[in-house]
Amino acid sequence: MSKHPEVTMAQRKRQLVADELTEAALQLLALKGFDVVTIDEIAATAGVSRRTFFRYFASKEDVVVQFLTGMGSDIGAELAARPAAERPSVALRHAVWVPIAACADHPDRALRVVQLILRTPALLARFLERQAQWRDDLAAVLESRLGLDPGTDLYPQLAAGMALSAFDTVLQRWSDNDGAEDPADLTDRAFAVMAPALDAVERRAAGAPASS
């Protein structure tokens, strides 16, 4: 008999435990504060042992870092999946919206987590560190989508940076006003400002000069 179903079951179980630990950790950290919550408390809330916690994460901070890594992967995967003919501003807006939509689907819970990250210096530093990798990943996808030369064209890195700046601005605004504004509206407004610059690459690709 094939062992693949057993492997799949083991992987699913491992992912379930990781998800439960992540959820317990993020909610406790957001509710009580990063410096107050202990690893023992996180493990107890998730219904596992301290030893089990360390099988999945190296520290409390590592829980948040892995959470952020997942957000970046979601953005990159969505951009890669967008239709090839779609305007860059539209494709990037859809990509950035994936993690923001996840926040919007669970606003009370997600808002606390966002505020935890943005208001805890150590976590904010790791958030910005993660985004440096996100920018490179998004730039690589844009290079492939648009047929640009990464050695000579500034557009991919600039466009990726602009999209992530919009992402930051939306989350910061949403955090600052305690969720009073609609994140979808904030995202649309942010990309409306940037769309002319993001879509100028299409005019260059068509042989016409970009507007000054």
Q: What percent of the chain has pLDDT over 70?
A: 92
Q: Based on the number of CB atoms within 10 Å of its own CB, is 127 exposed (0-12), middle (13-18) or buried (19 or more)?
A: buried
Mean pLDDT of 162-185: 95
- Mean pLDDT, all residues of the chain: 88
Tell whether 134 is covered by a domain. Answer: yes
Banded pLDDT at 12 (limits 50, 70, 90) = confident
The total number of structural domains that make up the chain: 2
Helix axis angle for 107-119 and 121-146, nearest 10°, is 110
Residue-number span of the structural domain to which 34 is assigned: 1-57
Tell whether 152 is covered by a domain. Answer: yes
Q: Is the pTM of this model over 0.75?
A: yes
Taking a C-beta distance cutoff of 8 angstroms, is the pair 126, 64 a contact? Answer: yes
Query: Would you list the DSSP string of 106-146?
Result: SHHHHHHHHHHHHHSHHHHHHHHHHHHHHHHHHHHHHHHHH
Report the pLDDT value the prediction gives residue 67, as an integer from 0 to 100.
87
35 DSSP assignment: T
Report the pLDDT value the prediction gives residue 23, as an integer from 0 to 100.
87
83 & 167 share domain: yes
User: Does 5 or 158 have the greater pLDDT score?
Assistant: 158
Could you tell me the end-to-end alpha-carbon distance of the chain, in angstroms, rounded to an integer?
Answer: 66
Banded pLDDT at 205 (limits 50, 70, 90) = very low
Single out the residue in 14, 32, 57 at which a domain terminates. 57
120 & 166 share domain: yes
108 & 148 share domain: yes
pLDDT digits (tens, 9 = 90+) for 107-152: 888 899 999 999 999 999 999 999 999 999 999 999 999 999 888 9
Tell whether 7 is covered by a domain. Answer: yes
Tell whether 209 is covered by a domain. Answer: no
Report the pLDDT value the prediction gives residue 6, as an integer from 0 to 100.
54
110 & 40 share domain: no
**pLDDT over 70 at 210, yes or no:** no
53 & 65 share domain: no
**pLDDT over 50 at 69, yes or no:** yes
Query: Reduced to 3 states, what is the DSSP secondary structure of residue 206?
Result: coil
Query: Reduced to 3 states, what is the DSSP secondary structure of residue 212?
Result: coil
